[in-house]
Chains A and B, each alone.
Chain A
């Protein structure tokens, strides 16, 4: 019998993982245990979507999620699951690493794909070298812990199995207290959902030229995004508009890359674009290797001409 555990503090992610775990458990066969953190309704939802049993770990209001690490590892030491899937939110990645250390277990981080062999051994893929490589890894031991990016699996259909929810109180760690929470204000364009994105890099010589970039974007019906240094170092555009491994991932119909070199960390965020068009003044810029259409030109002259040409084409 295989035992699969799924853990997330986000209800939607917990359900995705529950659905995938159910699929794996039905093939083996085995059982699925869903662990809800913070919210009881998430445990109920998991039971209605394929979990055989649910645990609800109750944390005090002022405790960070990671305070559950010791409790969770003790529960796992007792239950001895074969495969544990955590939703790879920031907090849960930290939590999973602490649990893995308490158990002396392997943890695969931020897997983008998962395969489980007939004998229960899991293999997974993850991104390494800032997006420059995809690594396939396998577990060497029987206890396999993995964090998986949210939205890797589809939301499951309703499938009621068990009904019991076990409540577990997480003892307060008096050494750590949350003293405030501040929500993040959304100020930039929504580039994650845009069909056209114009991405600008450090090749833009002055901030004023953003107006021309914006104009190109509106003519194409798109949103403006950027590379990390444009947001974080120059602070010309809001942080939530930078594209890449540590920023937003985009998948537009068209990505127009302006004055950006195409470093692996940036490429990792725009790889799923349907068509990539690039302008860069350096003919050897790596972005040209990752573009469908490329033009060697300086932005100072290319941008005004591009606006004119798009106007001529009725845009």
Chain B
């Protein structure tokens, strides 16, 4: 029976983005959510264990804000959650995040499959899954939109630029998933209530074995701005006027 690990990121909701003076992005009032593709990873873990049995451990990394994510994550199927949580991890880059998640994974006695979203809804750097696989010395199968367990192997379809690549790999592996893999269910009241009773483990930077080397960011962000938009924003009153505009644009 497979032991499945799902990594998820508690991201700022990009729908709450506001553009301030000079095009600066304002996220002060933005809510948080489980990154979209990570919900596909959670759903896939639920589908796998419904079929094959086994356990699901959810793992997330971040600052104290991720505490609030645990119930949401647990209502989507995992048996327990590990929060790699420390104030120093609040703005962790991909390097630190992958090291921290790998360290959290190593605290578990055994695992077969690690599922990650293909990229996160905020940075979308698409690094954490492959980086973690490299650190754990297991294969990474990325961009997967179909996954089948076959004994101690997994068969995955990778959706790539020119078509599909079918890969068979020996467990344990890291798999990063695409949104068309499945349709995440919306947790019901029963799942939400049940989530409150499930175990949560917190690992701080020290418990992860982190020193300055691990915590030193490899990248620094100099600025984040809204992309330029200087459209005319002219309102027309009826379809005839609109048609006029369309036709004159083409002549």
A→B interface (CB under 8 Å): 64, 66, 69, 89-91, 93-95, 97-102, 104-110, 123, 127-141, 173-184, 196, 220-221, 232, 245, 253-254, 256, 263-264, 267-268, 271, 274-277, 279, 288-297, 302, 305-306, 309-310, 312-313, 315
Task: State whether the Cβ of B243 lies closer than 8 Å to any Cβ in chain A.
Answer: yes
Residues of A within 8 A of B95 (CB): 100-101, 104-107
CB distance from B197 to the nearest CB of A (A): 34
Are B226 and A140 in contact, CB atoms less than 8 angstroms apart? no
CA distance A284 to B152 in the complex (A): 53
Identify 18 residue pairs between A and B in the complex whose beta-carbon atoms are under 8 Å apart, listed by A's number. A66-B142, A69-B134, A94-B142, A98-B130, A108-B219, A110-B124, A132-B17, A132-B227, A134-B225, A135-B224, A137-B220, A140-B219, A176-B170, A177-B169, A179-B167, A279-B242, A293-B234, A310-B247
Are B223 and A310 in contact, CB atoms less than 8 angstroms apart? no
Are A105 and B122 in contact, CB atoms less than 8 angstroms apart? no
Task: State whether the Cβ of B239 lies closer than 8 Å to any Cβ in chain A.
Answer: yes
CA distance A6 to B16 in the complex (A): 38
B→A interface (CB under 8 Å): 12, 14-15, 17, 25, 93-95, 98, 121-135, 138-143, 155, 160-170, 173, 176, 179-180, 216-227, 229, 231-247, 249-250
CA distance A104 to B135 in the complex (A): 9
Are B121 and A176 in contact, CB atoms less than 8 angstroms apart? no
Are A179 and B140 in contact, CB atoms less than 8 angstroms apart? no
Are B126 and A97 in contact, CB atoms less than 8 angstroms apart? yes
CA distance A151 to B189 in the complex (A): 49
**Residue in A closest to B37 when the chains form the complex, CB atoms:** A246
CA distance A312 to B247 in the complex (A): 11
Closest 3 A-B residue pairs measured CB to CB? A106-B218, A309-B243, A101-B134
Contacts A93-B126, A309-B240 known; A138 to B219 CB distance under 8 Å? yes
Are A254 and B246 in contact, CB atoms less than 8 angstroms apart? yes
CB distance from A229 to the nearest CB of B (A): 11
**Residue in B closest to A143 when the chains form the complex, CB atoms:** B218
Q: Is the interface of B mostly helix, strand, loop or mixed?
A: mixed
CA distance A150 to B230 in the complex (A): 27
CA distance A310 to B239 in the complex (A): 10
Residues of A within 8 A of B155 (CB): 179
Are A137 and B222 in contact, CB atoms less than 8 angstroms apart? yes
CA distance A287 to B167 in the complex (A): 41
Residue of B15, B220, B242 near A138 (CB, 8 A) is B220
Identify the interface centre among A245, A271, A292: most chain B CB within 10 Å of its CB. A292
Identify the interface centre among A91, A123, A293: most chain B CB within 10 Å of its CB. A293
Contacts A179-B166, A290-B231 known; A295 to B225 CB distance under 8 Å? no
Are B223 and A135 in contact, CB atoms less than 8 angstroms apart? yes
CB distance from A230 to the nearest CB of B (A): 14
Are A289 and B231 in contact, CB atoms less than 8 angstroms apart? yes
Are B124 and A107 in contact, CB atoms less than 8 angstroms apart? no
Are A181 and B166 in contact, CB atoms less than 8 angstroms apart? yes
Residues of B within 8 A of A136 (CB): 221-225
CA distance A106 to B161 in the complex (A): 25
Contacts A184-B164, A306-B239 known; A101 to B98 CB distance under 8 Å? yes
Residues of B within 8 A of A289 (CB): 229, 231, 233
Are B229 and A129 in contact, CB atoms less than 8 angstroms apart? no
Are A94 and B239 in contact, CB atoms less than 8 angstroms apart? no
Residues of B within 8 A of A128 (CB): 122-124, 224
Residues of B within 8 A of A94 (CB): 126, 130, 140, 142-143, 176
**Residue in A closest to B14 when the chains form the complex, CB atoms:** A129
Contacts A107-B127, A109-B126 known; A277 to B133 CB distance under 8 Å? no
Are B250 and A292 in contact, CB atoms less than 8 angstroms apart? no
Residues of A within 8 A of B170 (CB): 174-176
CA distance A256 to B227 in the complex (A): 20
CA distance A263 to B173 in the complex (A): 34
Residues of A within 8 A of B161 (CB): 89-90
Residue of A141, A177, A275 near B168 (CB, 8 A) is A177
CA distance A226 to B220 in the complex (A): 36
Are B221 and A295 in contact, CB atoms less than 8 angstroms apart? no
Are A175 and B139 in contact, CB atoms less than 8 angstroms apart? yes
**Residue in B closest to A177 when the chains form the complex, CB atoms:** B168
Are B216 and A140 in contact, CB atoms less than 8 angstroms apart? yes
Beyond known contacts A64-B141, A180-B166, A309-B240: 12 more, CB 8 A cutoff: A66-B140, A100-B94, A100-B95, A110-B126, A133-B17, A134-B227, A136-B225, A177-B169, A178-B165, A180-B164, A181-B164, A295-B242
CA distance A131 to B141 in the complex (A): 26
**Residue in B closest to A275 when the chains form the complex, CB atoms:** B249
CB distance from A258 to the nearest CB of B (A): 11
